[in-house]
Structure 1
Amino acid sequence: MSTITINHMNIYYEQYGRPIHEAEDVLVLIHGYLSSSFSFRFLIPYLQEEHAVLSIDLPGFGQSDKALHFNYSLHNYGRLVLDILERFEIQRAILIGHSMGGQIALQAGLQEPNRIKKIVGLAAAGYMGPVKRSLVWLSYLPFFSWGLKVYFTKKDIMENFLAVIHNRTIINEEMVEGYLKPLQTKAFYRSLVLLMRHREGDLSTARVREITQPVLLIWGEQDSIVPLAVGKRFAKELSAADLQVLKQTGHLLPEEKPKETALLIKAFIKQ
């Protein structure tokens, strides 16, 4: 298990391909909500052939710490990604973010445009407001985190996967176990409560238009979690964006179409 300590937190990471210090382009993978580096396991083999790849588990998820002192705002997640790049002495990175990770990649790119060379948004979350105030207020009730755990435990797990995946034949025991295992600890639900409280909403249209890096947007045509309409809006409002749509594909692009996704990413890098 590889970890680095950032802001008194242990951050889990996986490193593949060429050594980071020898690579011209370092690809940094940022997972989505309720996920981890596990979600990129099929995409990484296609990317590591030519590039240095660094995949991280965000605080609160996967094998990283579920710290109570961390501010779980999207802006702060973006800042943390930049701190990780600094620790690895990565001067120019290409960020690849899935879902919430795509929004975090945009946040980081906006904060330090000179360090972020390009951005890839895989069904990147966007144009969502903060969590409803009523739910935030409820989060201060005693045992709220316990109630969240009960809620997630009782939800039909297969129903959840059917909602995010178009090609249902790829669902197997390894996938279910890989996504569910990190959700079984009390610490995870405590950090999830903090994310609900701290999440300030996605970048506004005005802020999105300030992003200057080239951005590749890859979307599943059948995505019901972050609909294609979000990708089309991003494509209009980003100053240098290319939207590519994969047919017969849902929200989990790295799971459903890893090879096709990797080919688009590698072509984008070479541009």
Structure 2
Amino acid sequence: MAQRSEPWVRPGTPHLSYLEAHGGASGSLAEKNVLMIHGNFSGKNWWRELYEEPPEGSRLLAPDLPGFGDSLAGRHFVPSMKLYVDALHGFLDSLDVDEAVLVGHSMGGAVAMQLALSDPDRFPGMMLLSPAPPGGLQTPDYMYPLLKALRHDRRALRRALKRMMRSRIPEYIEELVEEAGKMHPKGFAGNARMLSEESVNGEASRYHGPVLVVSGDRDTLVPPSSAEATARRFPAGEHVLLSGVTHSPQIEAPGKVGSLLQNFLDRA
């Protein structure tokens, strides 16, 4: 059963809203902490079907990043990888979590890579779903005004989200649209610009934990060749391709992703 809580994180960092779910007895010493990091134009509810049926022996923690969903952005918010990484470290500190496996989707995959490299001992494994590539995800200049316009056009925002999950539109799609619309105004174009400027290509080889990259064979934003290249960047990287899936495996194929996560936790 998912639980809602809102702890304060480190002084100076934003207030993060999150969902928590346990695959077994809550508080068990054998529980494995899993930090689930959502992508752009999304939030904690993109993990909904995973935290409704969490893997056995897991504790799933799904926060809204600063400036997303129900999390506060801070007075001088500007989207940045450092801000997101620091906020997640503080979030885990506030819950006394010393170690966690990372699961990141799309932009959240890029955040997961940066987070893991910031403290490899704290994050012993990563499962990346359709992740933005380690060398950055370039957005054409003409797209930035269109991204900004989505803030005021709910119909266009709905269409954009549906293109990210074409093989299966969930019954709770309107909740996801509502969540996306809560994003901080600076995030509509700012997060895409951040992804175009960030790169961990030169650092990925020093992360030796297991890395499972999961992607869809119909994904046009992060095509299979990109996902496979991401897996190769890591010494213990592996790529799994899901048939018929576009950009949102956890929504389009939650059962498969849940099974992959269970197996990953068993060996991470």
Q: 1:212, 1:42 → 2: CA distance?
A: 30
C-alpha distance after superposition, 1:190-239 (max 9, x if no partner):
44455466556232321222222211111111111211111111122111
In structure 1, give the amino acid aligned to 2:259.
L
Closer, same or farther in 2 for the Cα pair 1:2/1:265, shift >3 Å?
same
Which of 246, 252, 255 is the aligned partner of 2:248?
252
Task: Name the SS of the counterpart of 1:42 in structure 2.
Answer: helix
**Is there any run of 5+ residues in structure 2 with no aligned partner, and where?**
none
Indicate the residue corresponding to 1:266 in structure 2: 262
Deviation at 1:97, TM superposition (A): 0.6
Q: 2:27, 2:140 → 1: CA distance?
A: 41
C-alpha distance after superposition, 1:54-107 (max 9, x if no partner):
111001111111324244212331222122112211111001111111111110
Deviation at 1:132, TM superposition (A): 7.0
Indicate the residue corresponding to 1:12 in structure 2: 17
Instruction: Tell whether the 8 Å contact from 2:151 to 2:188 is kept in structure 1 after alignment.
Output: no
**Is there any run of 5+ residues in structure 1 with no aligned partner, and where?**
139-143
| 1:217-228 correspondence to structure 2 within 5 Å | 217-228=213-224
The more displaced of 3-12 and 211-220 is: 3-12
Which of 90, 94, 103 is the aligned partner of 2:101?
94
The more displaced of 111-120 and 82-91 is: 82-91
Instruction: Tell whether the 8 Å contact from 2:105 to 2:128 is kept in structure 1 after alignment.
Output: yes
Instruction: Identify, as 1 or 2, the structure richer in helix.
Output: 1
| 1:160-179 correspondence to structure 2 within 5 Å | 160-168=160-168, 170-172=169-171, 174-175=172-173, 177-179=174-176
In structure 2, give the amino acid aligned to 1:259.
G
In structure 2, give the amino acid aligned to 1:14.
L
Indicate the residue corresponding to 1:73 in structure 2: 80
Task: Name the SS of the counterpart of 1:22 in structure 2.
Answer: coil
Indicate the residue corresponding to 2:151 in structure 1: 149
Task: Name the SS of the counterpart of 1:96 in structure 2.
Answer: strand
In structure 2, give the amino acid aligned to 1:51.
S
RMSD (Å) for aligned C-alpha atoms: 2.7
Percent identical among aligned pairs is: 23
Q: Larger Cα Rg: Structure 1 or Structure 2?
A: 1
Q: Would you say how many aligned residue pairs link Structure 1 and Structure 2? A: 258
In structure 1, give the amino acid aligned to 2:246.
G
The more displaced of 100-109 and 194-203 is: 194-203
Closer, same or farther in 2 for the Cα pair 1:223/1:193, shift >3 Å?
closer
Indicate the residue corresponding to 1:141 in structure 2: none
Instruction: Tell whether the 8 Å contact from 2:8 to 2:94 is kept in structure 1 after alignment.
Output: no
Q: 1:21, 1:51 → 2: CA distance?
A: 9
Closer, same or farther in 2 for the Cα pair 1:21/1:226, shift >3 Å?
same
Task: Name the SS of the counterpart of 1:29 in structure 2.
Answer: strand
Indicate the residue corresponding to 2:136 in structure 1: 128
Instruction: Tell whether the 8 Å contact from 1:20 to 1:26 is kept in structure 2 after alignment.
Output: no
In structure 1, give the amino acid aligned to 2:255.
K
C-alpha distance after superposition, 1:94-146 (max 9, x if no partner):
0111111111111010001111111110111113257678999x9xxxxx96x
Instruction: Tell whether the 8 Å contact from 2:14 to 2:87 is kept in structure 1 after alignment.
Output: no
Normalising by structure 2, report the TM-score: 0.84
Instruction: Tell whether the 8 Å contact from 2:33 to 2:61 is kept in structure 1 after alignment.
Output: yes
Task: Name the SS of the counterpart of 2:220 in structure 1.
Answer: coil
